[in-house]
């Protein structure tokens, strides 16, 4: 948990999450607005949920903490 807290507090990680949301907002503003409204509704419905980053529209995140990090070959075809 300490490693995760340190990563989430690192300025570089904060900047990249903000950048990802900003690019999403610029390139797909209506979809971004949908994500934001849906996420806000979800957060309002359950007080135990929190944003990973204040400036991010993304509900999830993942850190690959290798050195030998792999995943099964897949496609995220059900993502919006």
Instruction: Report d(CA 1, CA 7) in Å as an integer.
Output: 10
H or E stretch covering 17 = helix 11-27
How many Cβ atoms sit within 10 Å of the Cβ of residue 57? 22
Range of the domain at 42: 1-80
The pTM (predicted TM-score) of the whole model is 0.75
Q: What pLDDT, on the 0 to 100 scale, is given for residue 74?
A: 82
Each of the 80 residues of the chain gets a pLDDT tens digit; together they read: 688 899 999 999 999 999 999 999 999 999 999 999 999 999 999 999 999 998 899 988 888 888 888 878 888 787 76
Q: Give the per-residue pLDDT at 69.
A: 81
Q: How many domains does the chain have?
A: 1
pLDDT score, position 21: 95
Residue 76 is predicted with a pLDDT of 79
Rounded CA separation 59/32 (Å) = 12
């Amino acid at each position: 948990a300490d490693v995760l807290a340190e990563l989430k507090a690192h300025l570089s990680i904060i900047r990249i999450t903000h950048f990802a949301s900003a690019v999403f907002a610029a390139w797909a503003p209506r979809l971004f607005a949908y994500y934001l409204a849906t996420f806000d509704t979800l957060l309002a419905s359950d007080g135990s949920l929190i944003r990973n980053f204040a400036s991010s529209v993304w509900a999830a995140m993942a850190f690959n903490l290798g050195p030998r990090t792999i995943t099964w070959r897949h496609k995220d075809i059900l993502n919006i």
